[in-house]
Amino acid sequence: MKGGTVRVSVNRHEVASQIRIGKTVNKKQTMEVILIQDVDNLGSAHEKVSVKNGYARNYLIPRKFAVEANPSNLKQLNERVKQLQKKEAKLLAEVNKVIEVLKASPLKVGAKTGTSGKIFGSVTSVQLARAIRDQKGYEIDRRRIHILDEVKELGTYKAKVDFGNSNEAEIEFEVGAE
């Protein structure tokens, strides 16, 4: 072919795929982040975790669930953890004080009874919470009080008070006639 032009047909998709083949993509790139809030199946607040780049940059960081674990943020995390430990120590001391007060003497709970000494109805955690408030001066949520035995007669019984973080106290209470 003298003097003629040769036309070469190149499919741009083929060229693009050939270019991509030459480049290796590392799909396991991870980054360290510090969680600000609890994230299901990942970790709790103030914890340093390693996640994929895309998950951190597209989901965790924009939604304020985490921040990048750079030296400045790590320093802030350490300071925050120290402050939380101090708060927990104070709370634990206060809980131990409340436990000692509750165990010091049994609570007295009044109930309406029949002639045989049986109680009409039963003593509930609501009545125990009210007795603790009136007699000991501490406000405890009724959902944290668990009566161990069913209270149907006059006598002495036991209940557990759950303060959280595996802090429990077993208290005694006496049921008397009103």
6-64: pLDDT as tens digits: 565 555 555 555 555 544 455 568 999 999 999 999 999 989 999 999 999 999 999 99
Query: Does residue 139 contact residue 130 with C-beta atoms inside 8 Å?
Result: no
The SS3 call for residue 145 is strand
Question: What beta strand segments (E) does 39-100 contain?
Answer: 48-52, 66-68
Residue 91, CA distances (Å) to 98, 106, 143 in order: 11, 24, 20
Domain count, the chain: 2
70 and 108: one domain?
no
> How far, CA to CA in Å, does 68 sit from each of 30, 112, 125?
12, 62, 46
Amino acid 19: pLDDT: 52
106 and 173 inside one domain: yes
Query: CA gyration radius for the chain?
Result: 33
Q: Are residues 106 and 167 in the same domain?
A: yes
Please tell me the pTM assigned to this model.
0.59
Give residue-wise pLDDT tens across range 117-167: 788 888 889 999 999 999 988 899 999 999 988 888 888 999 999 988 788
Residue 105: its pLDDT value, please? 87
For residue 130, tell me if it sits in a domain: yes
* CATH number, position 60: 3.40.5.10
Residue range of the domain that includes 162: 101-177
Separation of CA 67 from chain center:
20
Query: What tokens were used for 8?
Result: 């070469």
End-to-end Cα distance, the chain: 120
